[in-house]
Amino acid sequence: MLRGFKRLFALLTTSVLAHSALAEEQGAERWGVNMTQGVTEVAHTTYNLHMLIFWICVAIGVVVFGVMFYSMWRHRKSKGYQAAQFHESTAVELAWTIVPTIILILMAIPATKTLYDIYDTEEADLDIMITGYQWKWKYNYLGSDVSFFSNLSTPRTQIDNQQPKGENYLLEVDEPLVVPVNKKIRFLITANDVIHAWWVPDLAVKKDAIPGFINESWTRIDEPGIYRGQCAELCGKDHGFMPIVVKAVPEAEYTAWLDERAAAAVKMRELTEKTFTFDELLAQGEKVYNRACAACHQPNGQGVPPTFPAIAGSKIATGPLDGHMSMVIRGSQKNPAMQAFGEQLSEVDLAAVITYQRNAFGNDMGDTVQPIDILNFKNKQ
Amino acid sequence: MAHGPQPGFKRWLYTTNHKDIGSMYLWFSFAMFLLGGCMALVIRAELFEPGLQIVQPEFFNQMTTMHGLIMVFGAVMPAFVGLANWMIPMMIGAPDMALPRMNNWSFWILPFAFAMLASTLFMEGGAPNFGWTFYAPLSTEYAPPSVTFFIFSIHIMGASSIMGSINIIATILNMRAPGMTLMKMPLFVWTWLITAYLLIAVMPVLAGVVTMMLMDIHFGTSFFSAAGGGDPVLFQHVFWFFGHPEVYIMILPAFGIVSAIIPTFARKPLFGYSSMVYATASIAFLSFIVWAHHMFTVGMPIAGELFFMYATMLIAVPTGVKVFNWVTTMFRGSMTFETPMLFAVAFVILFTIGGFSGLMLAIAPADFQYHDTYFVVAHFHYVLVPGAIFSITAGVYYWLPKWTGNMYNETMGKVHFWLAFIGLNVTFFPMHFVGLAGMPRRIPDYALQFADFNQIASVGAFLFGAAQLVFLFNVIRTVQGGNKATDEVWENPEGLEWTVPSPAPYHTFSTPPAVR
């Protein structure tokens, strides 16, 4: 704690200067003060609605505060102003009940219209299932073989201030959601564990992802580009570290990408048959560990007990193989924080990460797990 | 029967005197205000720069949760109850509260509730970390073990609030001096009467929702677990059915305080007294039918969205009436700006700004962009800090000479005001900007484009925190001594409390006063 305060003091004294230098090089995106106008019709309408209500509020504010400041300036005792004694007027009370009601009705009309637009999820060209997990998103292109997880790709070293922060700090992922422009895309949004919310400001789409519910939303993106967003509902420790990146591309490019991903999925299934060497598994396992496990169990395998136990020296990672596979594939029966990774990771990645956990952080089991072992384990159940 | 206070700590432990209990509530709430404020400063210190510097995300979430819970249940609500204890009997010409022993009890269980809540910080797995709104299943299946202590402390706080409310209603309805008809009661009494009914209506709902959590966690039910056939959205409906009236519980007594202060320093009667009463009642009624505007993004059917949007927009009407009445009270008055008036005027201005952002948030399609961003954080801090905190502060400065018999230091009061006013706006105004620009709330680290405004907000927060120490110092000095206050204290203020000596004797109105 004391160290914290010392660091805070150092920050307060030095970083105001450092910051203005940083501001110079990063240019116009900083100091943003308003909602994005977005890249969809709904986003434009929402922006216009927001500005309309804002200006109405400003106008009311000018009148109310104008009268108030005028009387604070003029009607002071120090200026010898004598107080009037009026204190009632039914006509005035009625007027300032009725006039605001009329203003509100005028506001409600465009708001209602926009809401009907947003709720019209019919006749979509393309359906994408979005599932929130602690703390990543899964995208499933319905009607195709393609589905994948999208994780934060900002390195831990940038978050811990050991490296300078990149341009898209905390708003970058390993695999973005790729979608075609000018197509009506319907999102089916749900969650696997706790409530999340999928939000991309440029699309004006924000919908809660709730376990046991499938919410609907839609978008039609006007121009190709990369649009970034974040989880908007507190979902636990790494709520601030599960961004969303949408890459909108022309339709031809999208189709080519989808075909390529479908082919890759087939190839991945074939790899399940292959036998890997210990070193290959260890190398791949480390990558998978850092992507899928390190957020909770920590990069050094020490975990954050009691919710996130250590891997180093753990009974499971240094115990019988079946128990270890069961924990990773099916998740913990006792601790909901330990998810079932069986469907989240490929057989190859599961084999690699289990091998890695048994042979890293001082664990020294010396055994390997092959993808086919994983498949057999899954089929046994 | 003893006629004065008992000596030593027994006075405070056994007291049934409304003034003693009022003082204890106020000191307790101030201690909680400082504790919750320190947590806010941890949050702002971490958010001073992008990256993780001071705390880890787990602890950050505990801070946001505890800050919210402590400020709502520990600072604002007990402070209003403290003011009610002190002022309601003196305002209606009653010798004490109607149920003095229950009054003692409803105060003394609070320190235990908060000691238990605060002790969770030292438990294995840490304090509650699921936000003050504790949405299931994050607060049930995924919660730290300390959640059970949190549930129990919420139960105790709820019991305290319900007992306090029963006492206030019984006092107001039964113990008014002859001639003090309902429509002659000061607005502070009126707003508290309505608030007390709100509390009795919704505190059991809160108790219900935490009990359902307790059952889900320990007794195998599935109220909020989809896997067991339950419904996580049900949690939000029940929580906000409590939560929305709760936010008005934290603002209605503020309306009463400001309605007492502005006429005194404008030297002009309150404009539209009866419309103020009706507006308060309308706001209280509306508060029960707008809860789901906190849930526009959960995927309600469009009919639900529209109903809650329209109902929420309607709140602007009675709230507007109140603001217009205050401004009209000031208009053509003969104003001076002592510290209570400064806080009251700032209340009207800043609360109105918070009202405007509230109206914007009511517009469901626009709310899809605002929801769960810093725009919301800016909004509710604009209504709660200048709303509840400033009005309580104004009330303390306004009545402190009556309580202690001494005038507070006016210069120090003004220094406190300007530090707090500037600190508050520097802290919370930039939050509108980062929220609109896309910064979600409740995150310990953020993208680079939000850095500048966050840095400004953090500086403002420390300034606001420092201002409160000036307040504490000023109050302690006033309790200890100072220029003697007259019985009226201010220039011709209205109300029975100004007819008793300063400091107010231990027992007032043992025989009922005559009410004109």
**Can you give the residue range of the structural domain that contains A61?**
41-72+89-119
Of the candidates B233, B440, B452, which has its C-beta nearest A232's C-beta? B440
Query: Which domains, and CATH codes, for chain B?
Result: 22-235 (1.20.210.10), 251-443+454-506 (1.20.210.10)
Q: Are residues A326 and A359 in the same domain?
A: yes
Confidence category of residue A15, pLDDT binned at 50, 70, 90: very low
Is A111–B270 a contact, with Cβ atoms under 8 angstroms apart? no
Cα dihedral A364, A367, A370, A372 sign: negative
Contact of B513 with chain A, judged by CB distance below 8 Å, is answered with no
Domain count for chain A:
3
Where residue A182 sits, what CATH number does that domain have? Answer: 2.60.40.420
Over chain A, what is the mean pLDDT? Answer: 89
Nearest to B43 by CA among B427, B452, B371, B430: B427
pLDDT at A21 over 60: no
Contact of A153 with chain B, judged by CB distance below 8 Å, is answered with no
Specify the pLDDT at position B105.
96
Q: Which of A238, A269, A300 is the last residue of a domain?
A: A269
**A64-84 mean pLDDT:** 94
A-B interface: how many C-beta pairs under 8 angstroms? 311
| Least confidently predicted of A40-54, A286-300, B274-288, B479-493 | A286-300
Q: Is A307 left (phi over 0), alpha (psi -120 to 50) or beta?
A: alpha
Render pLDDT for A118-137 as a digit per residue (tens, 0 to 9): 999 888 999 999 999 999 99
Contact between B21 and B103 (Cβ < 8 Å): yes
Specify the pLDDT at position A330.
87
Q: Are residues A205 and A310 in the same domain?
A: no
Give the number of C-alpha atoms closer than 13 A to the C-alpha of residue A273, restricted to the C-beta side. 4
Say how far apart CA A365 and CA A363 lie, in whole Å: 6
Nearest to B345 by CA among B276, B421, B408, B415: B421
Contact between A286 and A301 (Cβ < 8 Å): no
Specify the pLDDT at position B392.
98
Specify the pLDDT at position B371.
97
Q: Are residues A133 and A175 in the same domain?
A: yes
Instruction: Report yes or no on A345 lying in a domain.
Output: yes
B220-B224-B230 Cα angle (round to 5): 85
Nearest to A258 by CA among A173, A138, A177: A177
Instruction: Report yes or no on A264 lying in a domain.
Output: yes
Render pLDDT for A164-177 as a digit per residue (tens, 0 to 9): 999 999 999 999 99
Render pLDDT for A231-252 as a digit per residue (tens, 0 to 9): 999 999 999 999 999 999 999 9
| Residue B74, token pair as written in the block | 């520990």
Q: What is the torsion angle, in degrees rounded to the nearest 10, for the CA atoms of residue A353, residue A359, residue A361 and residue A364?
A: 160
Is B57–A81 a contact, with Cβ atoms under 8 angstroms apart? no
Is B366–A236 a contact, with Cβ atoms under 8 angstroms apart? no
Say how far apart CA A374 and CA A360 lie, in whole Å: 20
Specify the pLDDT at position A266.
86
The H or E element that residue B362 is part of is helix B339-362
From residue A128, give the alpha-carbon distance in Å to each of A190, A195, A259, B22.
11, 19, 16, 58
Specify the pLDDT at position A379.
83
Specify the pLDDT at position A381.
65
Say how far apart CA A283 and CA A103 lie, in whole Å: 65
pTM: 0.90
Is the model more confident about A182 or about A364?
Answer: A182
Q: Which of A252, A269, A286 is the last residue of a domain?
A: A269
Specify the pLDDT at position B5.
78
- Alpha carbon B353 to chain centroid distance? 18
Confidence category of residue A268, pLDDT binned at 50, 70, 90: confident
Q: Are residues A352 and A262 in the same domain?
A: no
Say how far apart CA B244 and CA A93 lie, in whole Å: 27
| Residue A381, token pair as written in the block | 């159940």
Render pLDDT for B406-452 as a digit per residue (tens, 0 to 9): 999 999 999 999 999 999 999 999 999 999 999 999 999 999 999 99
Instruction: Report yes or no on A7 lying in a domain.
Output: no
Specify the pLDDT at position A375.
86
Q: Which regions of chain B are under pLDDT 50?
A: 1-2
Q: Are residues A152 and A248 in the same domain?
A: yes
**A40-60 mean pLDDT:** 96
Instruction: Report yes or no on A135 lying in a domain.
Output: yes
Residue written as tokens 């007259």?
B486
pLDDT at A16 over 80: no
Q: Are residues A104 and A178 in the same domain?
A: no
Say how far apart CA B82 and CA B23 lie, in whole Å: 6
Confidence category of residue A271, pLDDT binned at 50, 70, 90: confident
Say how far apart CA B160 and CA B103 lie, in whole Å: 9
pLDDT at A12 over 50: no
Specify the pLDDT at position A13.
46
Say how far apart CA B14 and CA B29 lie, in whole Å: 20
Contact of B324 with chain A, judged by CB distance below 8 Å, is answered with yes
Is A64–B335 a contact, with Cβ atoms under 8 angstroms apart? no
Q: Which of A269, A290, A317 is the last residue of a domain?
A: A269
> With a CB-CB cutoff of 8 Å, which residues 159-218 of chain B face chain A?
none
Q: Are residues A148 and A115 in the same domain?
A: no
pLDDT at A20 over 60: no
Of the candidates A49, A199, A215, which has its C-beta nearest B363's C-beta? A49
Specify the pLDDT at position B295.
97
Say how far apart CA B98 and CA B442 lie, in whole Å: 43
User: What amino acid positions of B are annotated as catalytic residues?
Assistant: 67, 96, 132, 160-161, 244, 246, 248, 259, 293-294, 319, 322, 441
Q: Are residues A186 and A255 in the same domain?
A: yes
Is A230–B267 a contact, with Cβ atoms under 8 angstroms apart? no
